[in-house]
Amino acid sequence: MNPADLPSARALFAQWQRARGGRTDTASRPFSRNWEDLLEDARLVSATERSEAERDARTLETCGWVELKPVRYRPHLIARITIPLGAEPRWCEAFGFVPPSDEEARAVREFSWEPELLFLREARPNLSFAELLQLNEFLKNRADDREIVPIKERSLQIFGDEKRLDTLFSSSLFRAGRLDLAKNLFCDLIGVPLAWKRGPSAASSQPVIVIENAATWHSYCRWNAECKAFSAVVYGDGNRFVDGIRYLKDLFAELGGSRRVLYFGDLDPQGLLIPQEASARAVAVVSEIEPHLWSYRQLLALGVGHSQPWEGEPASSTLCDWLRTCAEPVRQLFATGRRLAQERVGWEFLRKIPGIE
């Protein structure tokens, strides 16, 4: 297993770099991170993503990459994740990172950088002098015809490695006031295209519904073939929906025009944050992402006595407002530190419902 392939591990290593300044020879205590904070920083918020991240973390622990501390009295949950001191060189090797020597640090301070990289004279760079030179060379070649391209294309051009910029994007190089992907490197993070299934022809004028998790998406696709409530059922794939929102315009083109976009996801703070963040980014293609209130009402009814503990940050006072008439019961649910997984509105329930009232 290579941690560079895992979103949670990439976030962990980026934070290690910021804390250590890229050095492996000066620390007396291992680097540790709160698990929930790490998931939030890595933007892993859906039930599926969180489950995959936990599985990856336990595999990393088995292979000696990390140490995990369980939640007190709940040993099945992770409280903190730690990179052991002895494993730090191994992490650097996995991410292709060579800690800067004193000589390199002096070279960085004294080099004649392009204006965008002048901050390196005072900062602790999180990549090698050789890679910094590659960045500088790209910035030096100020072509007038550059356009925004996907981040992996630009990364391959600059470093000869299509994944390098993805790793560096979480580093100190891209702190506020330093490098900017679009402004300086003319590239952008390209969200995963939206997976979706067209509804029956009788539903061609109906709204689109976005489903957060894969299992519920599958069940809603089966159900929509009978109830004909949606022109398309979209797989949101957790937080990836926020970055993939741009692809709604392609979906509308396939369906023959724009229409309302409804959303149904987990009832927990992160599950409500996803559609609201997506809505803020969607102004160019749709006026807002609306809650599918029928689905949320069913989840609240089916979840009585079956809620699960929520171990993340508590919800803000206004987060539930998006749910309109369902806001108050969800506020009460969150106040008790509980959540409801959307999978409770599953196929065995849906197949008995001929349509939406």
Q: What is the pLDDT of residues 156-209, one digit of tens each?
A: 999 998 888 887 886 778 888 899 999 999 999 887 889 999 999 999 999 999
Residue 20 structure tokens: 């250590």
Residues 162 and 285 in one domain: no
Question: Residue 105's pLDDT band (boundaries 50, 70, 90)?
Answer: confident
| Structural domain containing residue 185 | 100-190
Residue 113 structure tokens: 């950088």
Decide which of 45, 72, 99 is a domain's last residue: 99
Residues 256 and 338 in one domain: yes
Domain count, the chain: 3
Decide which of 134, 164, 190 is a domain's last residue: 190
**Do the domain assignments include residue 227?**
yes
Residues 277 and 203 in one domain: yes
Residues 220 and 282 in one domain: yes
Residues 221 and 134 in one domain: no
Decide which of 64, 99, 134 is a domain's last residue: 99
Predicted pLDDT at 23: 59
Residues 128 and 74 in one domain: no
Residues 235 and 151 in one domain: no
Residues 309 and 235 in one domain: yes
Residues 246 and 111 in one domain: no
Question: Residue 26's pLDDT band (boundaries 50, 70, 90)?
Answer: low
Higher pLDDT, 52 or 297: 297
**Do the domain assignments include residue 355?**
no
Residues 86 and 223 in one domain: no
Q: What is the pLDDT of residues 278-329, one digit of tens each?
A: 998 888 788 899 999 999 999 999 999 999 988 777 888 899 999 999 999 9
pTM of the model: 0.70
Predicted pLDDT at 353: 92
Residues 166 and 258 in one domain: no
Residues 80 and 113 in one domain: no
**Do the domain assignments include residue 165?**
yes
Q: Comparing 75-79, 88-92, 312-316, which segment has the lowest mean pLDDT?
A: 312-316
